[in-house]
Amino acid sequence: MHAVVIGSGLVGATTALALHQVGIQSSLYDQVNLVQAALTSGGAPVAIDFGDSGGSVLISASGLRVLRTLGLLDEVLASAHPSPTITWYKINGTSPVVLDNINASKKSGESDEALQNPIQILRSKLHLILMSACRKAGIRTFTGKKLKGIIETNDSVTAEFEDGTTATGDFLVGADGIHSATRRAVFRDAAKPEYTGVIGHIGVVRLKENNLKISDACAFYLQREKKQLVCTFQMSEDLAAVQVMTFNDPVPVEGEEYRPHPDLPKESARLADLLESWGLPPHVQDMMRKSFRISPAAIYDLPDLKTYHKNRTVLLGDSAHGMVPNAGLGLLTGLEDVGVLLELFRNFKSPSDIPRVFSLYSQLRVPRGHDAAKRSREMAKQYYEGSQVFGHLLLRFGIFLFNYNLVTFHKIYDCPTEVAGAIKAV
Ligand SMILES: Cc1cc2nc3c(=O)[nH]c(=O)nc-3n(C[C@H](O)[C@H](O)[C@H](O)COP(=O)(O)OP(=O)(O)OC[C@H]3O[C@@H](n4cnc5c(N)ncnc54)[C@H](O)[C@@H]3O)c2cc1C
Ligand SMILES: *[C@@H]1O[C@H](CO)[C@@H](O)[C@H](O)[C@H]1NC(C)=O
Ligand SMILES: *[C@@H]1O[C@H](CO)[C@@H](O)[C@H](O)[C@H]1NC(C)=O
Ligand SMILES: *[C@@H]1O[C@H](CO)[C@@H](O)[C@H](O)[C@H]1NC(C)=O
Ligand SMILES: *[C@@H]1O[C@H](CO)[C@@H](O)[C@H](O)[C@H]1NC(C)=O
């Protein structure tokens, strides 16, 4: 079988590796226009460096399990930083509330110690690991391929790109993010992502050369009434990210997410001054001021889809369930999608099985996607609504419940177990 994968972001690249493991060939097609890479590779399997963009992503146990299945866990762990705690402060760095992530992982059902500690990793570093693995597996990546339309026949599917070229496969994977053109082409009446009015500005900073020390793996600073939210993440011994959310920003130009800001010194000074005016602790202001890259990310929320497939097309990652980033579940949910598709194809290998594979995929993934999006919305509400004093008290109470194993935040999702259960139930 051969698959056409639209989008070579974190989920698209992971999907191609998963399909490779079960003997399904695929090629990646991305709208990113890397003239240099395209000219020199002509579509040959080279590791395409999509460049430096974005800050940190958090991956917890369910996602680490998928990376382990793909044989990438050790390499990812070696490039990442463990995040044993999450700390929430008032905006000035007082009144910490600490979540013990290891306790939370155990409670969620993760018994493997090696996976109980969630990790933080630089988004572009993770992407490079995935693209290098794709190259080694002989998976080709074509850039400058913006999807325009999809044509289905009874036994194949063809992607049409804006440059006039096409690609045909037994099935097509839409991994083209929250603004997915695949989703638009296949579910013509599906809801559109809604802009939340929030823009995140993510700075990445080297700690040593700037004499910076941060004591928290992951920290949030909140002033609920003024809707002020800043967070910091440590991604390696030397790298950290600082992210500030600003409200009521005008609708951004689509597709500009994660591109580094061109006028860096001016932008980092502007944002650091903003943090100063909000009363952030000095080290957080410094992190922003000393950032060597600032990327903006416009925050959208995708309304819940009823299904993630139609005919020979299947959606994975943000194209299926793009969500607000407040609970750190976006990529995790996409990695689970990949793990499920992998296990389904391990069990059903013939082209005639595609309808069954996709219908089981939606059956398993839609409820999980809806649940993750709901948790993310609830977390955003907890951050942005309610009073400063009472909101923080409620958070303290909620985190107390998690720490003492009284409540489970997010249940572990083991893809082979879930798939085996669904197949048995048929
Ligand atoms: C500020 C912020 C912080 C986040 N933090 C976390 C976190 O801590 N933990 C976590 O789990 N998740 C986090 N997320 C969510 C996470 O980033 C996403 O869930 C994840 O990147 C989704 O990957 P994807 O591959 O589905 O989509 P994307 O990463 O959006 O990739 C889509 C790809 O498709 C390509 N493409 C788009 N349109 C087309 C087209 N028409 N034709 C061809 N190609 C196309 C794009 O160029 C891109 O390469 C965060 C998100 C944001 C905005
Ligand atoms: C931090 O802010 C709180 C109110 O939100 C205030 O009570 C406290 O005095 C402040 N602490 C410092 C050290 O500024
Ligand atoms: C696609 O699926 C729909 C039902 O969801 C069906 O009516 C249609 O005929 C299918 N198209 C093709 C080309 O298989
Ligand atoms: C596609 O499948 C349908 C139903 O299975 C059939 O009626 C139709 O003739 C097929 N079309 C082609 C072009 O083979
Ligand atoms: C983790 O849970 C144990 C009990 O299961 C408890 O003793 C410990 O204090 C918890 N850790 C934190 C940081 O609350």
Domain at 2-82+122-192+302-425: CATH architecture:
3-Layer(bba) Sandwich (3.50)
CA 100 to chain centre: 22
Residue 128 has pLDDT above 70, yes or no: yes
Q: Which of 1, 4, 14, 105 shows the shortest CA–CA distance to 333?
A: 14
Q: Which of 278, 13, 16 shows the shortest CA–CA distance to 131?
A: 13
* Ligand 2 in reach of 350 Cβ (< 6 A): no
- φ and ψ of 351, to 5 deg: -55, -30
Average pLDDT of 210-226?
Answer: 93
**Residue 12 token pair:** 């698209």
Angstrom distance (rounded) from CA 79 to CA 216: 18
pLDDT per residue as tens digits for the range 311-358: 999 999 999 999 999 888 999 999 999 999 999 999 999 999 999 999
- Determine the distance separating the centroid of ligand 1 and the alpha carbon of 96, expressed in angstroms: 31
pLDDT per residue as tens digits for the range 405-424: 555 667 899 999 999 999 99
DSSP string spanning 229-250? EEEEEE-SSSEEEEEEEE-SPP
* Residue ranges per structural domain of the chain: 2-82+122-192+302-425, 196-300
**Residue 317 token pair:** 């990652």
CB 62 within 8 A of CB 72: no
Which residues does residue 98 pair with via DSSP β-bridges, in sequence order?
Answer: 87
**Protein residue closest via CA to atom 2 of ligand 5:** 404
CB 99 within 8 A of CB 85: yes
User: Scanning the structure block, which residue is given the tokens 């080694």?
Assistant: 136
Ligand with smallest separation from the Cα of 96: 2
Residue 65 burial (10 A CB sphere; 0-12, 13-18, 19+) = buried
Ligand with smallest separation from the Cα of 387: 2
**Residue 367 token pair:** 């409820």
* Ligand 1 in reach of 295 Cβ (< 6 A): no
**Protein residue closest via CA to atom 6 of ligand 3:** 311
Separation of first and last alpha carbons in the chain? 24
Q: Does domain 196-300 have CATH number 3.30.9.60?
A: yes
pTM of the full predicted structure? Answer: 0.93
